[in-house]
A = this chain, B = another copy of it.
Amino acid sequence: MFTPAPPSLDAIFAALADPTRRAILTMLLEDDMAVTDVAEPFDISLAAISKHLAILAEARLISQEKRGRVKWCKLEPDAMRAATIWIQGFGQFDPLDFDAFERFLAAELPEEG
């Protein structure tokens, strides 16, 4: 198809809900990567990684371009921006207990590396 359907918030948030996929996105922040290289640090099969990448691509969080036998994966920030925009539709949150928030982040973020 020439004009593919826009990614849904369903697809975007669902894609982001999996820790493996979030880790993949973080890896792609560094550089574009081939599927095999994406798979390398994980303990799951290459086929499973391939599926994860398909889900990320479906949500348009990444794009995939095949050059030769290698399929390159590239971060596509637009979909993530769409997610934040939706969330920010919830308005200016009240200015808030930043200490508690920092503690929350300190506890949460190491989980992802």
Measured CB to CB, the residues of A under 8 A from B are 6, 8-10, 13-14, 16-19, 22, 25, 29, 75, 77-78, 80-91, 93-94, 96, 100-101, 104-105, 107-109, 111-112
Question: Which residues in B have their C-beta under 8 angstroms from that of A84?
Answer: 84, 87-88
Whether B19 and A17, one on each chain, are in contact in the complex, defined by CB atoms closer than 8 angstroms, is no
The CA of A105 and the CA of B17, in the complex, are separated in Å by: 21
The CA of A10 and the CA of B104, in the complex, are separated in Å by: 14
Whether A101 and B87, one on each chain, are in contact in the complex, defined by CB atoms closer than 8 angstroms, is no
Question: Which residues in B have their C-beta under 8 angstroms from that of A88?
Answer: 84
Whether A94 and B77, one on each chain, are in contact in the complex, defined by CB atoms closer than 8 angstroms, is yes
Across the interface, A111 reaches (CB within 8 A) one of B8, B25, B80, namely B8
